[in-house]
Structure 1
Amino acid sequence: MKLLLLISGIREVMAESEICLRENGSRLLVHPDYRDEVTGAWFNPGYWGGRARPVSSGGRGGAWFITAGSHEMVLREYRRGGLIAKISQKAYVFTGESTVRSFAEFRLLNQLAGMALPVPRPVAAWYRKTSLLQYQAALIIEKLEGTTPLAELITSLDDGAWQLLGGTIRRFHDAGVRHADLNCFNVLVRDGEFFLIDFDKGRIMDGTASARWKASNLERFARSLRKVAGEAAQARVWESFVLGYYGSQST
């Protein structure tokens, strides 16, 4: 049961895996492990000064490594791509709090972490309405220390590593997890382990047409490998990847 408290004029709603805050026109979700630490200022890169370092690989910009005490984290603003970004890079249409992208990703990451899938743990999510119909949003996650984007390792990983990656992706698919942008920048590598990041617009699917979305997910990943490393490199590693993917099939 959620508990409703009134503390210093801020409405706080507590659930087992999240704390909901309202602060100066903003809305926040905070993981209970970070209660009484996170404020709306955390989502402003300027607040961190020299403790904010831009993330350089992949994405559309708008991401920073930040240091909060002993915690290493990643702050990411939600930014549009394509032609619409020329009109409004950060604004999204508001259709209700349940559909706010930062809140949806926070809750999905919480769920995936609870399923013991290799993802970063969420710290906090934020959004603020900029008009009646628009909002801006941002997310903070724990940094996965010592990791390297797969994009930088495509030609150096051996066949065994590609099989392990195939098996990792299969774990997500067996759990019904559809990553909306499965590419080689959203796979991180550390000592033979693989992690998926950036679950914006991701979701847990029902069983309807599961083969179709899984195949589409794999083809998107293959296109990313070809784009970054070339067709020959993608073809060289794909057999091992597929062997790991289907070799880990649940029975």
Structure 2
Amino acid sequence: MKIIVSPDYQHQKEWIQQVPHLFAAGGGELLYKGRNQVRLFMVGGEKLVVKRYKRNDVIKSLIYTFFRKSKARRSYDNAVALRLRGFQTPREVACIEQTRMGFVTQVFYICAYTEKQPVRPRLIEQEPFDKPLAIAYARYVASLHEAGVLHCDLNPTNVLVDSDSHFELIDINRMKFYDGPVPKAECMENLTLFYWLTPAYRFILDEYARQRGWTSDDIAEAIRVKERHDKRWILRKKITHFGRYEVLH
């Protein structure tokens, strides 16, 4: 088992070593259960969140052992990189890689707990959407892209905010960092991940464009990129559902 512990959390090292066992025993408070599982632990007066990623199959074990960093290690490294660029994410605590016969099989990422909440309820579920937050969100994403930060899963559940419009990013294992601003084409694709082509999306796009100095032609192109993205997504879901129907029948 390989463990990397933040210098700020060396005092929790003994507990961190027990995390795989604690998780297997169902310890802590379950926050999310799906492909991955997230649990909250109170450790010496500190709230720590542990994300256990889905166990690797043979191919992924091979990839994450020899060719790519594990998702937990990428989350840890990306948290450090984000903070160096002036952006917030729950403080990284540790990453754990369990191995079997030298191959990475199960990984865990540990970070500090945050009280911030996803932007989704206020920007998507609420009617009408929260325009001041939408403006702040657009400016925040523009600042990420301007600083060369690309969150490859920039959906509204992975951007957290507090009442003062201070943002944090979570689920950060898939990110890209550029030496300069993110290329415009990648920015347009990244913006498509927010939600459907709703009034809130258009409002956010307009404010983002103002911040980046985009032209009306740029905005029109971003809309076309969004429309193509949504059509592909719908088609992919239809194919997936059809395949499931065929298997079940």
Q: How does the TM-score come out when normalised to structure 1? A: 0.71
Structure 1 residue 188: Cα displacement: 1.6
- Report the counterpart of residue 32 of structure 2 in structure 1: 56
After superposition, residues 108-187 of structure 1 pair within 5 angstroms as 108-145=78-115, 147-153=116-122, 154-156=124-126, 157-187=129-159
Tell me: CA distance 1:243–1:73, structure 2 relative to 1, closer, same or farther (3 Å): farther
Structure 1 residue 200: Cα displacement: 1.1
Structure 1 residue 190: Cα displacement: 1.4
Q: Does 1:195 align with 2:171?
A: no
Identity %: 23
Structure 1 residue 68: Cα displacement: 1.1
Structure 2 CA distance, aligned partners of 1:208 and 1:249?
10
1:218-251 superposed Cα distances (whole Å, 9 cap, x missing partner): 1122xxx23xxxxxxx512123312332233389
Tell me: CA distance 1:69–1:40, structure 2 relative to 1, closer, same or farther (3 Å): same
Tell me: CA distance 1:166–1:29, structure 2 relative to 1, closer, same or farther (3 Å): same
Structure 2 CA distance, aligned partners of 1:27 and 1:122?
16
Q: Which runs of 5+ in 2 are unaligned?
A: 215-249
Structure 2 CA distance, aligned partners of 1:195 and 1:209?
19
- One-letter amino acid of the counterpart of residue 99, structure 2: K
- Report the counterpart of residue 205 of structure 1 in structure 2: 178
Structure 1 CA distance, aligned partners of 2:118 and 2:181?
32
Structure 2 CA distance, aligned partners of 1:37 and 1:236?
46
Q: Does 1:40 align with 2:17?
A: yes
| 2:41 counterpart SS class | strand
Q: Which runs of 5+ in 1 are unaligned?
A: 1-25, 227-233
Structure 2 CA distance, aligned partners of 1:93 and 1:176?
27
Structure 1 residue 208: Cα displacement: 9.4
- One-letter amino acid of the counterpart of residue 34, structure 1: Y
Structure 1 CA distance, aligned partners of 2:155 and 2:113?
19
| 1:55 counterpart SS class | strand
How many residues get paired? 208
- Report the counterpart of residue 211 of structure 2 in structure 1: 248
More helix by share: 2
- One-letter amino acid of the counterpart of residue 97, structure 2: Y
Q: Does 1:78 align with 2:53?
A: yes
Tell me: CA distance 1:127–1:134, structure 2 relative to 1, closer, same or farther (3 Å): closer
